Structure 1
Amino acid sequence: MKHKMAMTAAAAVLGLNLAGFPGKGWAADPLVTVTLPKFTVKFNGSEVKSEFRQYPLLVYKDITYVPMAWYDSRLLGLETGWSAQKGLSIGKGNVTSSYAPYASNTRSRTSARAAVPSFPVTINGKAVDNAKEAYPLLLFNNITYFPLTWKFAHDEFGWDYRWDAAAGLSITSVNPQVKVLDLPASAGEQEMAFFQGYYYYTELKEKYYHIYRSPETDLKAREPVYSYEADTGYGINKSLRFRVVDDELHFSYHIGGQVMGKDIYVRVGPDGKGAVVQQGYLDYRETPSGTLVISHAVPPHAGGLYLTPQGEQRTYDHAAGDPKLYYGWYIAGNEGGRSYSGDRSTAVIGDEVYVMASPDPDQADRLNRIYRVNLKTDKTVLVVDADVQHFKIIDHKLYYVKSGDQLLYSAQLDGSGEQKRSDQRVRTFEIVDGQLFYTSPGENDTLKLYKAESSGADELVLGDGIVSVQFLNGSMLCKLAAGGDYGLKILDGSGELRLAVADPVAGAWAYGDRLLFISAAGGEIKELKLP
C-alpha cells in the first residue's frame, strides 16, 4: 500500500516497502515517549478508537497527534506528498474520504517510542523547522504524525477544534464530508436517486422489487412508490435506471428475456407514486403534438416512427415521417450481415424531430444518416449525409460522431458548416460551461477525458483509468478504475479538480448537488454534497 500513506524519508531513500521499515525511523532521529489518548476523539463525527488501530492517535506533551495515513488525511481534507529533495509536504487539498477505522487485531501499546524526523517538512507550502518546534512532527509505525495544535489545526487547516471535559476532543474539517446513509443493505444492489428532498431506492422481498422513497429528514419514514417482479424466469434482473426528465423523476427496468421481454418506463407523480407511461422495446420523446415513439421492436422494419396525440392511448395508427426509412437504428455491417442497435439520439425542437435513419439496410453507403421530420407535415429532409454513430443537439447546433474515423463534428441544424471538433476518437461528449469535453478510448477498456481546443491540440484533462463520466450542470463526475488512489474525481467546467474522493466506488449517481455512491469495499450507501 505504498500509495496509501505518507512515505517516510528512510523508505524513500532506501527504496524499501514501507511495511518492512522499522517503526522507529532513522537511527539518527531522536526518540520521544508517546501514549494513547485517554479521552474520546472524533474526526468529523466519527470516533477514532485507538486501542485496536493500526495507526492509533498519540499524545505527546499533552497534545494529540494525528496519523497522516491515506484515508485519515483525506478525511480531513489534506494531501500528503514526498520527494527525496523536498521531503514531506502536507497541505489543504480538494480531497475527501469516508472514515476508515484501520482496525487491528493487536492491542495498541499504551506507551511507545516515536521518532522526531529530521527530513524537510512543509505545511501548506511553508517550511517547518521540526527541530525547533515545541510540538514536532513524529514518525510512528512508518507514518508521519502531526500535532493538533491551534497553529496547525485552526490557523493552517481551518478546522473547528473543540474540547469538552466530558465529550473529549472534536475535530471538524472544512472539506465536503462523506455520509453513510442508514438504508437497507439491498438498496445498494440497484441504482438509487435523490430527487426533491427524497431518496429513492429498492428493496428485494419475496421475488419482488419494492421501490421506496424516504425524506432526507427521516430515512425511516419510507413510502411505497412502485413494485415489480424481480425474477420473470430469467434470474433476478438488476436493470433499474433512474433519470430526470423535464423536472420529473422517471425510471425504467426490464422484464423477461432478451427477445420476448420488454422494457418498462415509469414516471413518478407529485404524490410519489409510479405509473407506467411506456413499455416495449422503444424510445420516446414528448412533443407539442403528442408523444413520439421510436420503435426498437425486432425484427427491424421500415417506418417505426409513431406519434400519439395528447390524451390518446398509444397505437400504431399515426405513423410519422417517411415510411420507407428505418428510423431509430444504428446499423453496422459485419461478415455475418448486419447488426442493429437501438439509437437514443432523437431530439425534438418544436414540431421538428432530428432522428437517425437509413433508407435500406442493404445499402452500406447510405446507413445511419441524420434526418429532420416535421410532425405536422411529415416532410422528411436529409440533414447530415454521413454515417453517424450518435448525435446531440446542443445550443442549436448538431454534434455527431462519424462511424468512419470516430471523430466528433458539428454543423448547423440544416447540416451546413460542418467542422471537425476532436483530435481523438470519441465515445461520449458534452458542453460544460461553454467548453466542449469528450471521452476517448484508453488502455484496458478505460477512458481518457479531453477538452476540445479550437486552436492547437486538444488538452488531455484526465488520463487512463476512467470507467465512466457523467456530465452534470457545470461539472463532470469521473468514476475511476479499481486499484487507484481515488474512486471518484469531480471536475469543474474548465477541467480543474473540484474534489477527489478516496473511497473505492462500485457505482455513483449525481442528482443536483447530491452524489450517491456505493462503496466497493463494504457495500455501504454513501452520500456527498457536491461543492
Structure 2
Amino acid sequence: MRARRLVFLPFVCNIPDLFSSNECKENMYPLKGVYPMRRSVLAAVMAVPLLLLGSVPGFAAVPERAEAALPAFPVFLNGTPVDNVHSLYPLLVYKGITYFPMTWEYAQALGLATSWNEQTGLAIDKQAQSEAWTQALKPEPNVISGEAARFAEFPVRVNGKSIDNNKEPYPLLLFRNITYFPMTWRFTHDEFGWETSWDPVNGFRVVTAQQEGGSQPATESDNFNLNSSGQLAVAGDWMYYNPNNSYGHNYLYKMKLDGSGKTKLTDDNAESIHVVGDWVYYTSRDKGANVQQGIYKVRTDGTERTKISDAPASRITVDGDWIYYVDQELTRQQQHTNFYTTLGIKKIKTDGNGETSLYQGNATDSNRGAVDHSIHVLKDWIYFMQPGDGEHPAVLNKIRKDGSQLTPLVSANFNSFVIVDGWLYYGENNQLRKMSLEGGDPSITLRNFELDRENAVNFESLHYYDGWLYYVKGAFGIAGAANIEKIRIDGSDPTRVIEGVRAVRLFFAGDKLLFTGGWMGESPLYEVTADGGIHSLREE
C-alpha cells in the first residue's frame, strides 16, 4: 500500500483577546476540525517515518519544545462539528492559534492536496473542491498533559510559495509524529480563499470549497424533525406544521419562520410532514379512533390535495420520486380504538404507482412490531431498528433503497436514534452514546445519567441542531413536568435550555426550538422563545 503523509493544520486567533492586536488581524482565524475517515487509511498515512526529516539538506533539528493545549471552544468544518474530545488526531492551540491535523482525510475535507519529497519537503496546494468526511474517533477522551509539540524542521511550500518555518510567528509543529500547520488569516483567507467566522459562543467555523458528492450538512437534514414524528417540517423560509395533533380540530398550516404569512393548507391531522419541491407530503390519522387514513400530498399553496395511497403508513420519508414508509396492519380493536402492528418497510412513487416491499419482518405479537416506527433514509441506505423478542436483542439494520443487501450492524438495547455526519447517537441504559455507521469500532459513552425519575432521559426525544444534541430530561404523569437540555456532540457542556415543561418531542424550525406537549393524549405544539418562555401554536 502506498504510504501517505500525515500533516496537521493549525487555526489562528479564535480567542477573543487576540482580536484587538494587529498581529492577530494578520493571522486571524482558527480552522475547523475534521476527523479522518478510516483507521486503516490513517495507519498507511503514518507509515512515512519522521526520521526521514533529518535527512533533508540544510535543515537541522530544532530542539525547542512548543507547549500546546486542546482548544476550549467548538470548531466546525463545512457545517460538521468536530469531536475533539475523542478525535484520533485532536486539534491543538499554540500561542492562541488553533492548529489542525492534516491527515489525508483532513486535507481532502479542507480541499487541500499534500505531497512529500525528501529533497523539497512538504507541499500544500489548494484544490477546486473538498470532500465529505467522517471523523475517526476513539472511546477514551484526549489528554495531552505532559506532552509537548516540536517545531517542524523540513521545508514547506504553500501554493508554490516557500515558507521559512524558523521565521514564522506561528510555525508548523510536530505532535505525536504528525505535522500541524498554522492556519493564519494569511493562509485561510489569502491563500485558500475560505470563509471563516468566530465568536465566543459558536466557536470557529470554516467553509471551504464546494463539496463534490457526499451528504448535505446535518443542519440541512430533514431526518431530525421526521425522527420526532414529523409534526413540523421546514423548507426555505417556511415552516409547515400541525399545531394541534389532537382528538378534535386539526389543521396543516404553513407560516414563515419570522411568524408572518400564516396560511391553512388542509384540515387533516397531518403527521410525518415532509416538504419536497412544491409539494407537502404527509400521513393523516383520525386520532380519536386511531385510524390511519393514508399518505397524502398537497401543493405548498394549498391546492391539489391528493391521496397517494390508502396504506396505513406510520412514518414516511420522501427521496427523489419515491416515498419510503413503515408498513402496518390493523391487528385489533378495543373500545372503538384501533391498534396497528408494523410489518416492514415499503416504497411507493410520489404519483401513487410502483408500490414495492423492501423488507418484511416477523411481528412476534401485536405489541411488538417487525420494525420500529422510525426509519432513516441516507444516500443509498435505509437504517432501521428490528425490535427484540424477549429471547433475542434488538438489531440495528441497514438495507439498500432497492431492498437488497440487508445488513445487521449491531445488536442493541435501544429503539430510537439520530444520525449525524456518519455517527449514530442513541440512548442505552440511561447513557448517551455514539457509534460509527461503518461499524467495527466500540461505541463511545458521552454521558451517564442517573436512573431516578427526575434525571431519567427520554431518548426518543433526541434531536440534533448545530453541534448540539437536545433531549427531554425527567419524567411526568398526569402532574409534573420535565426539562429540555442540550449537550455537545463530544459529550461536553451539558446545558439546561428550559425547565418545567411537559415536553415529549423536539423540533427545530431555523434556529427556533419547538416541542410537542403531552396532555391527556394530545400533542399541541409550543415554541421556546428567545427570552426563555414558551409560546403556544395551538389552534382552538
Q: By the TM > 0.5 criterion, same fold?
A: no
TM-score scaled by structure 1? 0.41
Q: Which has the higher contact order (CA 8 A, sep 6+)?
A: 2
Q: Which has the larger strand fraction?
A: 1
Larger Rg: 1
